[in-house]
Structure 1
Amino acid sequence: MEFPSLGEHCQYDSCNQTDFLPLQCKCGKVFCRVHFNDHCLSGLCELAPKSREINLRNDDEIFRCSENLCKKGNFHEMLCDKCHKHFCVEHRFHLSCPEIDDDVMALKIEQLEAPRRQFHEVNKHLQEKITENIRKALQSSAKVKTASKIHLMRIKQKAIGPKILPANERTYFSIKKPEDMEAKPVVIVHDEENVVKIETISIDPDLKGAVPVFVSSKWSLGRAIDSICETCNIMNDNNKIGPTKLRLFRQLDGYCISPTKMHIEIKELIASEILTEGDKLVMEYISTDVMNSLDDSSQVFLRQ
């Protein structure tokens, strides 16, 4: 069955075959796929595309995109208004045009950067506002837990730790790393009535200078300290004989978390309210001699 009304005859000499998808030169002549290339390369037609613009290895490669490293092409030429070079659809409105004037380039860059800059400014203001609200809440002891929960949400966004830990086991804190390896002075209290006389350290809810971390609630305190040291790159010689030992202190009041009982689990410390998830903790070195002088009833506070 023939369709005499479909397709065009190739106008190349000695061809004249019917092509249902012919290619038309700018001079108006129609050619089949094979002879369109021959016509353009013959040099007889001044309107034919330059040889560097022709690539018939694929149907979509005739006018090559001028964008660096782009190999796409089009049947129809799409010239840039500025540099008068052909670009594919993807790069047609790209900012890389070498002849675009500086004012237009600056305007387009500003249009792209403005939303990003506005987001950072708003986010910075929001974080400062949250920090200030937490700081105000901590002025009342009744609001410490609520403030810690808000603080916890911020910690979870940036916390680091062993990725193999299941999400339901993770317990979050923020850690202030020791500035050096020198043993810090402490106050030892044997009488609980004297605890109220200890000068407390006010909490700083700002995460600046602290490392948000997570550990397993099922871990012992000793294992949690080892993991925090590994995560935060803190020198840890707790398992060796040496002049100092690492201990965790609450930043809120300088209280040392279970200085002699490293086997107690994190979930037990939270259940007994010695720790609250979201607490800001201070990791510091204390003297081994001080540790050896402690008994189970001793309470240790970091001296301000």
Structure 2
Amino acid sequence: MSASTTPPEASYTAMDRDVEAIGAHCEFAYCHQLDFLPFRCESCRHTFCLDHRSETAHKCPRAGEWAKNRRLNSIGKSSISGTSQGKPNLINATQCAETTCKTFVNTSQNLGVHCPQCNRTYCLKHRMREDHDCKNLTPLGARPIEITMQSNKEKLRIGFGRLKTWGKERQEALTPKPSPSSKSAQIAALNTLKKNAKGDDKLAPEKRVYLHVEAEAASTTAKLPKADLFFSADWSVGRMLDEAAKRLQVANMNNRVETEEQRLRVYHVEGGRLLEFGEKLGVCLANGNTVVLLRGVGPKEGGK
């Protein structure tokens, strides 16, 4: 189920397309994150991001209001149509999805609870995952696992192939031509890099690693395609990525995405490989190296 699809029994609803086009800021205290797929809480009527869309996540001051209103509406509809429909039955009502349960849900007496994991509706008694054996159920509307796994493998294969081709071309373009003055030229180039590089001025000079940082145009849209930056040698690659993406104004959603299509990774041109997020800059990189921010290339080959 995509993040923009709202379950019928949820306390929140995805906002309309016009809002999605420009996004909205999360109204949860200390968050205020700009979200291009915002949700509106049906209890307090405020707008929240994906992480704070549920009543529990944003500590809703009017928690349960949406359920109360829906129950009142349901009772009103039941009183109007009750004479024609009669008692709930398999024809005019919904039964709890637990196979042994005979309870009719979404009635004036019994509230139905939608399970977002298996995409089914249950009575209050079977609303918890362990009560309806949720882990062993195939979600309604889900693609078969075999097809999904094959699709993911194919995406990773394409990503690796694209990375290899791009990396080879990039390395050839950056390989310096041998010349008698190559050593002095490298020193001069490094001095120029140190002079122009931007970064946290509070970092001790002896702890700095000076790098050429680029954002590959085919995989991401950056307002600043490249820059000379410096970072702490003690920083991890993941922290460097966050800082570099911020300075290049590249959208970084690594803490929110679950698939590789939108995940940013760091490619080390001289080393010809993707860097692990936990590696230390002082160990895997050297002054004057070039790193590129790539999206949708998958984990490093052979990794999980």
Q: TM-score range by the shorter chain?
A: 0.3 to 0.5
- TM-score, with length taken from structure 1: 0.35
When Rg is computed on C-alpha atoms for both structures, the one with the higher figure is 1
Higher relative contact order (CA 8 A, sep 6+): 1
TM-score (norm 2): 0.35
